[in-house]
A and B are shown apart, each in its own frame.
Chain A
Amino acid sequence: MLRAVAVFAALIGLFTSAALATDIEVTAAWARATAGASQNGAAYVTVTNRGPDTAIVRANAAVADRVSLHTHQMDGDVMRMRPVERIDLPSGADVTMAPGGLHIMLIGLVEPLNEGDQFPLTLELADGQVITSTVMVGSVGSMGPADMDYHNGHGDHQ
């Protein structure tokens, strides 16, 4: 069943990316399962930009009350999590979000995220593009797609 859902999601991904002919491609989108009763989560994406410079200026997901763009600054030994206005997507570059740095903060989860869940995440770009991708939920301490049974369904066609 899960596999069928994943295949279906991948097909939809193929269809939408072909239909929009976008230069922006989200090649990985993942989050960690909620540990205990934690109210917050974080999603990470890898974005490839084959078009001109742009930036992520907003993110939306129905799984949380509020979604904001965050980074971590290491100040000596102290970790400081801070909102950022935008996440730059330079032309020709891959931007990979990962724990300890840039992330999409999910504040006030509507319900806990469980390993194996998927949910839609929408990214709004500075040039007006809106890109929706499917976030795969890994384990509570997952370090990324390599840890997960994650198959990138729409990364390498063309």
Chain B
Amino acid sequence: MNRALVWGVAAAALVALLLTVAGERGMLGNAPDSPKQTVDIGGAFNLVDHRGETVTEADFASSYLLVSFGFTSCPDICPTALQSIGQAMDLLGSEGARLQPLFITLDPERDTPEIVGDYAKAFHPRLIGLTGSTTQIAGAAGAYRVYYAKVPTPDDEAEYTIDHSAFIYLMGPDGAYLAHFSHNSSPEDIAAGVRPYLS
């Protein structure tokens, strides 16, 4: 009787543990492992590149996109993600010819087309930095379900930082969401996660 109860509790605990692990995998895992499903992330955007020209998803109609969001006054998280994207591009080499990395600022007030363009180029020559009006940025961030919020820094009223979710999204040439990576995914993980879709 007691023994059955102990086994029952142990079995329930094991199931709970497996469910938790599965849940976390689903949350964090790089999507090649996740089941194929349609995810409503991404879509049309209307932004401005380093030359001040309008850029939309139609400009990348035959490319896979590797889309990340951030802001150039961020010295810590954003460079880590962009460095990994740049190194993943190098790892992919010619395989990455149809992969276009994009960095979209969440700080359109400070990040002019030139600033965000130069910032992106510092990490990889193929990385395109995009900005826009606050409305354009809100549109792009909304499409990718990016959370962002301007937060004043307590020690200086004129300064602010931006809290933001920091995923990297892989989108297909048809604009469909394919996979995502975390901001601290390694270049090897990103390259390995992207490669199956490109071939």
Contact = CB atoms under 8 A, between A and B. Distances in A.
Contacts of A68: 155
B75 A79 contact: no
B123 A140 contact: yes
B147 A35 contact: no
Interface string B73-98: 11111011011101100000000000
A122 to B, nearest CB: 18
B119 A35 contact: yes
Interface stretch (A5-13, A37-45, A47-55, A87-95): A37-45
A105 B115 contact: no
Given A36-B122, A79-B166, A141 B76 contact: no
Most buried by B among A38, A42, A99: A38
Interface residues of A, number: 32
B150 interface: no
B189 interface: no
B interface: dominant SS: mixed
Interface stretch (B16-24, B32-40, B156-164): B156-164
B121 interface: yes
A77 interface: yes
A83 B155 contact: yes
Nearest to A33: B122
Contact of B80 (A37, A66, A77, A141): A141
Given A36-B118, A38-B72, A107-B159, A80 B151 contact: yes
A75 B164 CA distance: 10
Contact of A37 (B74, B119, B156): B119
Contact of B77 (A99, A140, A142): A99
Contacts of A78: 147, 163-166
Interface of A: 32, 35-42, 66, 68, 70, 72, 75-81, 83, 99-100, 103, 105-107, 139-143
